[in-house]
Amino acid sequence: MADDKEVTIYDIAEYLQISAATVSRGLKNSTSVNKHTRKKIADAAIALGYQSNTFASSLRSKSTNTLGVLVPRLNSYFMSSALAGMEKAANLHGYHLIIAQSLEDVKKEKVNAATMFNKRVDGLLISLAYDTQDIEHLEPFFKRKIPVVFFDRVHPHNDSISVVIDNYAAAYNVTQHLIDQGCKRIMHLGGNLLRNVYNDRFNGYRQALKDNNLPFQDKWHLVSTLSEKAGDAAARHILSLPPAKRPDGLFAANDTAAVHGMIALQAAGLRIPQDLAVAGFNNDPISKIIAPNLTTVDYSGDNMGITAVTNLINHLKGISDLYSTNSITLRADLIVRASSLKKG
């Protein structure tokens, strides 16, 4: 059967050599069809790639006015802001969202992607899990020409578009700022380099060091989950080094890890920024609560969500071609606060 052919109850009926009416009743779990036959129908539907649809009008139009959204975590300020922007843009155009989280687990991401596909979403918006190595699980969308928009954590694909910021430039600017404040031994607390956001931030950090003739050392680059515990672990690592060999600057790839690292270091008696200048990334609310306030990078989750959904819906409506560009890059700004101001 052709990849792009819509599988119908008639295909299932022909496959099982039973009537379409029986298939229809079986898919609705009607007791008028015996249990054994209902199971055969359900198994055949999965094998053939049948997508159920509750609404007859959607069957006729092949549109559900529903978009799927897959995010790594819902308890992230940035992601919640992005979802708010998506909801705003989707409602404006008469679309609804189905939202799921991978909890940073590629296995759960695969299950959620399959669920979105079977829910007949008109398009998919996805920010990849921490450990996703390839996007083979999105091939059903590409084969059926269901548009896919990556945002923030992305993976290049000819039949998709990515909405991002310039993480490389933003990280370069953070690192340069720390250097301008007199830091010469700058540690980077980063994330999994499989993800574009963390790989680009790491490379921006390294390039800034190189351009200023400062050394890069493996002991000053920690790969972590960027969680609260990761911030604590980074602080312990710093404290385990002889005072003369400790970093005098810390650039963390998110605010959560930066703040919890600061708290642990301050509890051990280090002064921020005098002993260690600190900068984060994301401009989460926590960055303005910690004392001293955290230097960070601001980029709008709300704007990213609106941009991603608007471009997807414009493509679905035929207003624009989603694939006319591979990437949309949004603005990111360095926000300098007291945590990094060694020079006042």
For 258-306, write each residue's pLDDT tens digit.
Answer: 999 999 999 999 999 999 999 999 999 999 999 999 999 999 999 999 9
Q: Torsion angle of alpha carbons 167, 236, 266, 169, nearest 10°? A: -10
| pLDDT reported for residue 61 | 47
For 213-249, write each residue's pLDDT tens digit.
Answer: 999 988 899 999 999 999 999 999 999 999 999 999 9
Q: What token pair was written down for 293?
A: 């306030």
Compute the mean pLDDT over every residue in the chain, rounded to the nearest whole number. 92
Mean pLDDT confidence for 102-116: 95
Mean pLDDT confidence for 110-115: 95
Phi and psi for 262 in degrees, rounded to 5?
-60, -45
Mean pLDDT confidence for 29-37: 87
| DSSP letters for 19-60 | -HHHHHHHHTT-TTS-HHHHHHHHHHHHHHT----S-HHHHH
Confidence of residue 324 (pLDDT cuts 50, 70, 90): confident
Tell whether pTM > 0.75: yes
Query: DSSP state, 317?
Result: T
Contact between 132 and 112 (Cβ < 8 Å) = no
Torsion sign, CA atoms 216, 217, 220, 221:
positive
Judged by average pLDDT, the poorest of 1-15, 35-49, 221-235 is: 1-15
Fold adopted by 9-50: 434 Repressor (Amino-terminal Domain) (1.10.260)
Q: Which long-range contacts (CB under 8 A, 24 or more apart) does 208-216 make?
A: 208/171, 208/172, 208/175, 208/176, 208/179, 209/175, 209/179, 212/176, 212/179, 214/179, 214/184, 214/185, 214/186
| pLDDT reported for residue 5 | 65
The more confident residue out of 317 and 306 is 306
Element (H, E) at 279: strand 277-279
| pLDDT above 90 (res 20) | no
The residues with which 330 forms a beta bridge, in sequence order, are 165
Contact between 185 and 246 (Cβ < 8 Å) = yes
| pLDDT reported for residue 7 | 80
Domain ranges of the chain: 9-50, 64-165+301-330, 167-299+334-340
- Tell me the HSE value of 35 on the side-chain side, using a 13 A CA sphere: 0
The yes or no reply on domain 64-165+301-330 and CATH 3.40.50.2300 is: yes
| pLDDT reported for residue 59 | 42
Are both 64-165+301-330 and 167-299+334-340 of the same fold?
Answer: yes
Contact between 97 and 86 (Cβ < 8 Å) = yes
Smallest CA-to-CA distance from 222 within 183, 197, 250, 259 is with 250
Confidence of residue 42 (pLDDT cuts 50, 70, 90): confident
- Tell me the HSE value of 96 on the side-chain side, using a 13 A CA sphere: 9
| pLDDT above 80 (res 49) | no
Q: What is the CATH number of domain 167-299+334-340?
A: 3.40.50.2300
Residue at 272: amino acid letter: I
Q: What token pair was written down for 285?
A: 């609310």
CA distances from 183 to 87, 169, 276 (A): 42, 19, 8
